[in-house]
């Protein structure tokens, strides 16, 4: 992945201007992620020539980012707080106390920015990036994106760079909703599984600390040795070609369903195509690895009864494990099989509820761990609209979820070109990545 010297130029702490003490209880949606690694996302920007002057960057842009961050935290105080577990509380809480703050670091890298942007046509441009690390137990991708969009909005609209006392208002759609009472407990939902996840996580990660009140993160070190990072794009035309190819081999007439071919979403097609190409690439290099599985999370806000606000702050996602056989991912017709499995799982969720089969899900993960099944997961979404994140100097040239390198995770985003395509970010061993690239391009080529 390459290494470049990083020089810290500026480090400070940023607090909300005048927020009062706030605490949020963690719901069962949050608690599952309590000991997982943070999610790291980087937004790369190219600056207009006048703003790329270092003196202007440090005198204008950095203060503007810092002030607008402070103002945004006024609306999102839990993000300046900490996850704590009081002795008298059955579950951890997110607590903000006046004086709490987030770290604000400005650093310079020797990396070639144009190379980072995959040979961007901006030959002489200067660039910089905004990186954010958020812990998944506090918020999911939708809430994280809401925060970033709120920050970028205030950075654009706030002209008084020196004002630390007042906090400008947010557009209603960017105001977070914190009321946790809208989330019913598993018992109220009729579910039968532990809500502290301790026993389940101990079985999945036997080397981790099994103390029921432990907040230490489980071991998810980034994979660095012999690993490379790359981004691939499926255009709208590519997705249409994949869609037609799958449907031409689909068993159209299914018992008890309509006889029309299903509508396969870009999400289904992208996930199925990416995981099959990865599985075949891994198996092609390491023959002993032949069992795979795929799990994905679904935003539940609109699917709960009653639905909860779209701007609910926290976690409201639920995992789904597709029913494909572990050996299906490397078969000749794997793409069609896995696409059908994902589509069927989504349809099952819509027909029978998002928690259908939840009681047995952890035993499935446990048995897969024993059988050494490689499980693919998803980070991000092609519906977040991350390429609309404009802090005042234009849209991002690239958005990357860097934490995908901590597991077999695929980073998803909508295509920055706005053509209905999807971007896929990966970290794989170099020889696996080379084979993946060949398989990925072959399936959408016109040859």
Same domain, 324 and 248: yes
Instruction: List the alpha helices (DSSP H) in 46-205.
Output: 54-56, 62-75, 113-116, 141-157, 198-204
Same domain, 310 and 168: no
Does the residue 210 lie in any domain?
no
Write the DSSP symbol of residue 198: H
Does the residue 211 lie in any domain?
no
Same domain, 300 and 419: yes
The mean pLDDT value for 60-66 works out to: 94
Cross-strand bridge partners of residue 104:
12
CA distances from 303 to 204, 315, 374 (A): 28, 14, 29
Question: Between these two residues, 115 and 97, which has the higher pLDDT value?
Answer: 97
Say if CB 12 and CB 67 are below 8 A apart.
no
Residue 135 is among the residues annotated as catalytic for this protein: no
Does the residue 50 lie in any domain?
yes
CA proximity to 62, closest of 14, 17, 98? 14
* Secondary structure (3-state) at 231: strand
Question: Is the pLDDT reported for residue 7 higher than 70?
Answer: yes
Same domain, 271 and 129: no
Pick from 194, 209, 239: which residue ends a domain?
194
Edge-to-edge strand ranges of the sheet holding 227-234? 227-234, 422-429, 409-414, 374-381, 292-299, 317-321
Same domain, 180 and 231: no
> Catalytic pick from 37, 136, 283, 343?
136
Does the residue 375 lie in any domain?
yes
> Catalytic pick from 299, 323, 390, 434?
390
Question: Between these two residues, 170 and 56, which has the higher pLDDT value?
Answer: 170
Note if the pTM is more than 0.85.
yes
Say if CB 394 and CB 240 are below 8 A apart.
no
Long-range contact list for 54-60, CB < 8 A, 24+ apart? Answer: 57/128, 58/9, 58/10, 58/106, 60/161
Question: Is the pLDDT reported for residue 195 higher than 70?
Answer: no
Assign 134 a pLDDT band (cuts: 50, 70, 90).
Answer: very high
Does the residue 182 lie in any domain?
yes
Does the residue 209 lie in any domain?
no
The pLDDT assigned to 201 comes to 67
Does the residue 222 lie in any domain?
no
Q: Say which CATH number the domain at 27 has.
A: 3.30.559.10
Q: Which residues constitute the domain of residue 311? A: 227-383+392-442
Question: Is the pLDDT reported for residue 125 higher than 50?
Answer: no
Cross-strand bridge partners of residue 41:
132, 401
- The model's pLDDT over 270-303, given as tens digits with 9 standing for 90+, comes to 999 999 999 999 999 999 999 999 999 999 999 9
Same domain, 186 and 260: no
Same domain, 154 and 242: no
Same domain, 179 and 314: no
Nearest-angstrom CA–CA distance, 335 and 342: 11
* Secondary structure (3-state) at 185: coil
Pick from 177, 194, 211: which residue ends a domain?
194
Same domain, 146 and 233: no
Does the residue 201 lie in any domain?
no
Same domain, 417 and 273: yes
Question: Between these two residues, 37 and 275, which has the higher pLDDT value?
Answer: 275
Say if CB 380 and CB 18 are below 8 A apart.
no
Same domain, 184 and 257: no
Assign 1 a pLDDT band (cuts: 50, 70, 90).
Answer: very low
Looking at the chain, the number of H-run helices and the number of E-run strands are 11, 14
Same domain, 61 and 187: yes
- When divided into structural domains, the chain yields a total of 2
Residue 390 is among the residues annotated as catalytic for this protein: yes
């Amino acid at each position: 992945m390459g290494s470049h010297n990083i020089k810290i130029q500026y480090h400070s702490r940023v607090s909300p201007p005048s927020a009062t003490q706030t605490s949020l209880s963690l719901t069962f949606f949050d608690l599952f992620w309590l000991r997982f690694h943070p999610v790291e996302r980087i937004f790369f920007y190219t600056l207009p020539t006048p703003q790329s002057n270092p003196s202007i960057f440090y005198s204008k842009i950095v203060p503007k980012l810092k002030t607008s961050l402070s103002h945004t935290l006024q609306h999102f105080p839990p993000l300046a707080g900490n996850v704590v577990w009081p002795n008298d509380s059955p579950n951890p809480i997110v607590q903000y106390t006046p004086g709490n703050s987030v770290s604000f670091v400005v650093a310079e890298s020797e990396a070639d920015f144009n190379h980072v942007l995959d040979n961007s046509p901006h030959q002489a441009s200067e660039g910089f990036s905004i990186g954010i690390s958020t812990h998944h137990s506090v918020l999911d991708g939708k809430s994280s994106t809401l925060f970033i969009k709120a920050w970028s909005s205030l950075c654009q609209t706030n002209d008084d760079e020196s004002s630390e006392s007042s906090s400008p208002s947010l557009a209603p759609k960017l105001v977070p909703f914190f009321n946790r009472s809208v989330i019913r407990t598993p018992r109220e939902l009729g579910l039968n599984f532990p809500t502290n996840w301790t026993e389940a996580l101990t079985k999945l990660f036997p080397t981790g600390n099994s103390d029921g009140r432990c907040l230490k993160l489980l071991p998810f070190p980034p994979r660095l040795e012999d690993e490379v990072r790359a981004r691939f794009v499926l255009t709208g035309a590519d997705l249409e070609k994949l869609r037609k190819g799958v449907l031409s081999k689909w068993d159209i007439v299914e018992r008890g369903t309509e006889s029309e071919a299903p509508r396969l979403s870009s999400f289904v097609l992208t996930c199925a195509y990416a995981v099959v190409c990865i599985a075949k690439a891994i198996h092609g290099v390491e023959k002993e690895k032949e069992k795979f599985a795929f799990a994905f999370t679904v935003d539940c806000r609109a699917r709960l009864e009653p639905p909860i606000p779209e701007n609910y702050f926290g976690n409201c996602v639920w995992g789904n494990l597709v029913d494909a056989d572990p050996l299906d991912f490397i078969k000749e017709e794997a793409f069609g099989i896995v696409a059908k499995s994902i589509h069927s799982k989504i349809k099952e969720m819509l027909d029978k509820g998002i928690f259908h089969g939840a009681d047995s899900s952890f035993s499935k993960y446990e048995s897969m761990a024993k059988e050494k099944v490689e499980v693919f997961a998803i980070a991000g979404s092609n519906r977040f609209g991350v390429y609309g994140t404009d802090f005042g100097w234009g849209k991002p040239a690239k958005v990357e979820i860097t934490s995908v390198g901590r597991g077999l995770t695929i980073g998803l985003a909508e295509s920055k070109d706005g053509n209905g395509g999807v971007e896929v970010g990966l970290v794989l061993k170099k020889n696996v990545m080379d084979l993946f690239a060949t398989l990925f391009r072959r399936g959408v080529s016109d040859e």
